Chain A
């Protein structure tokens, strides 16, 4: 006798809960009545943390698969375009110090690797352009404040690869409405009062104040930092990563624009400060600005002074919201018949906007690997845990990379961050190899990689890391490299001439809409 998996109970209705519900419901035809039955229970009284106003390009596929129109998404969620991130003052701390981590891969990548050629030319003084500018046209597009596509581009298609900035407070209700109207998700607004396990150690049901017992064959914990099901009920311990990543506080502000037609910056700006860094995300109607810092290195008051200096005198009346954050994740993410998605599984500082993408990837993995029976669930859980652990480790490595390459000495925060004991062994090994050759696909061989080798290249060379290219020969690709550099210059000219201003395109999308084809 087998116990089939027919119903799923999601606890928590923030971004994690609704995205997970939508992703699974769309794949498993919940609206047809013969697919998986999905119930989401959320409390009216518990607020949404609303982590992450920045997405990855994966969000385009995620929304498209759920059957959401990109035009509606722009109209409802205060959405704007994000073409990667600009990192300011991370290396020396000076005004002129910046580099880009764009979303478009280097020209010719991965079949052609321009990094050694750029290194050779720039060491020889022949190429004064930054790495990202020399190999990718997107930096020029961003510097001019242009959008990544045209009004004639179909929904979800772009001239340049792009992601989004969005208003998390509007995003969760937007996905909720779609889940309820189109995807057949059952919605219960009630408070969970108790989570009850059966003899086998699985979650049997969640007790609610008014709606009685909610049963499910699989429970998904989207309860946020509380980790009500996985942490509290299943007792899975938290693994603290603050020995690697020091940031544990955020001061967040919503900064208004000067006027309705102020330019919207088409990328995230991350500006390093004395004890952390400030994010600056342009939405349609406001900017989201926040300082994440280490409370072991500075006080909230001192941090607030830095944040106020950043946003300027005109906004001195804005009151920040202080959020405590703990970098880390649960020891396992799926135990028994319970899996955690979102903050219930863990949290890392938002430097590379990893929160939403981890929700998408986790929900997608649960959806595609959905066990048919309770008996096969443990195998799926084991695989899910291996993959998810791998992903967290890679994100932690990549976040740490930004800190170990800094040359800032203006505080113990930056100096401590470069201490060898704080650097994961996996990252140390990569850095050894990269002394002589650029990061390549051979360094990232899993099917579940988070960042392509190109991302490592952008950060490494953006932050002034230099390989010794004289040990290994450059090979015979010099002609193709020159063609690729020239091709990049041509693309720069073409698209900086053709692409519209970011705000102008967003206005047009809201007014006229994008075509589906």
Chain B
């Protein structure tokens, strides 16, 4: 990965293959999301919580697979879903922080020059012939804008559920069709029983803070784990058929 600050003059000639963007998630079993995505994400994915390996801090993620680096929604060419998380759609762009010593930290738009999406045959350009931002770049900026805007609200949601001790490790006790027991480590979900025991006053506070629909989104989305198991078993069946080598 080679992140550089995007320069509209220096990088004016870059062309992007947006059909390759989703491939960046092909082997990601977890994709971080922000709370503004919860309702859309809940259509397809379990929403889980996991700790950032560098900081130990919790963040929400959509779960794509049942093992590390497994994405059961990846068809081979695209994510077979109606909603693709912002953190996939923003590829190959990133938000960096300008930490020049004398200036206050500001967000800067960065691009990964090593991304396979950067390809001369790509259909998307960054700037129009008159030098203005292309509609593609505007769309990217709005995606990144939503991620930046969602950072604080997401952190405050996490702080709220942690303070109420609503997060609990997810314990899955499943045996797949090929007999392998399923073990997922390091994932956390909302403790529904504890949530139901909260008193009216706490529920009212959650409602006013806009946390209540987020909690329900997570609770409802948890059922998608069964869809992941179904997809995983389909893959096992396919792979068996492939290897059974009929004569």
Contact = CB atoms under 8 A, between A and B. Distances in A.
16 contacts: A150-B53, A151-B53, A151-B54, A151-B56, A152-B51, A152-B52, A152-B56, A508-B56, A512-B55, A512-B56, A515-B57, A515-B58, A515-B162, A516-B162, A516-B165, A517-B167
Interface in A503-517: 508, 512-517
B81 to A, nearest CB: 28
Q: Which of A151, A152, A513, A516: most chain B CB closer than 10 A?
A: A152
Contacts of A515: 51, 56-58, 162
B168 A152 contact: no
Interface in B45-70: 51-58
B38 interface: no
A336 to B, nearest CB: 44
Interface in A478-517: 508, 512-517
Contacts of B96: none
Contacts of B162: 515-516
What range describes how many residues of A lie at the interface? 10 to 19
Contacts of B53: 150-152
Interface in A140-174: 150-152
Interface in B24-55: 51-55
Interface string B156-188: 000000100101110000000000000000101
A516 B58 CA distance: 11
Interface of B: 51-58, 162, 165, 167-169, 186, 188
A150 B54 CA distance: 9
A513 B56 CA distance: 8
B21 to A, nearest CB: 29
Given A151-B56, A512-B55, 6 more contacts: A152-B53, A508-B55, A512-B56, A515-B56, A515-B57, A516-B165
Interface in A101-129: none
Contacts of B55: 151, 508, 512
B169 A517 contact: yes
Contact of B57 (A150, A512, A516, A517): A512
Nearest to A498: B53
A52 to B, nearest CB: 29
A512 B54 CA distance: 10
Interface of A: 150-152, 508, 512-517
A512 B155 CA distance: 14
5 nearest A-B residue pairs (beta carbon): A151-B56, A152-B51, A152-B56, A512-B55, A512-B56
Given A152-B51, A152-B186, A517 B56 contact: no
Contacts of A151: 51, 53-56
Nearest to B188: A517
Nearest to B167: A517
Nearest to A513: B56
A150 B50 CA distance: 14
A511 to B, nearest CB: 9
Nearest to B58: A515
A507 to B, nearest CB: 12
B48 to A, nearest CB: 14
B193 to A, nearest CB: 15
Contacts of A508: 55-56
A515 B169 CA distance: 12
A205 B56 CA distance: 51
A512 B58 CA distance: 12
Nearest to B55: A512
A150 B57 CA distance: 12
B29 to A, nearest CB: 16
A2 B56 CA distance: 54
A295 B131 CA distance: 87
A517 B186 CA distance: 10
Contacts of A514: 56
Contacts of B56: 150-152, 508, 512-515
Contacts of B169: 517
A244 to B, nearest CB: 46
Contacts of B57: 512, 515
A151 B58 CA distance: 11
Q: Which of A514, A515, A517: most chain B CB closer than 10 A?
A: A517
A409 to B, nearest CB: 51
A88 B52 CA distance: 39
Q: Which of B56, B162, B165, B188: most chain A CB closer than 10 A?
A: B56
A152 B55 CA distance: 7
Nearest to B53: A152
Contacts of B168: 517
A383 B142 CA distance: 72
A161 B135 CA distance: 56
Contacts of B54: 151
Contacts of B188: 517
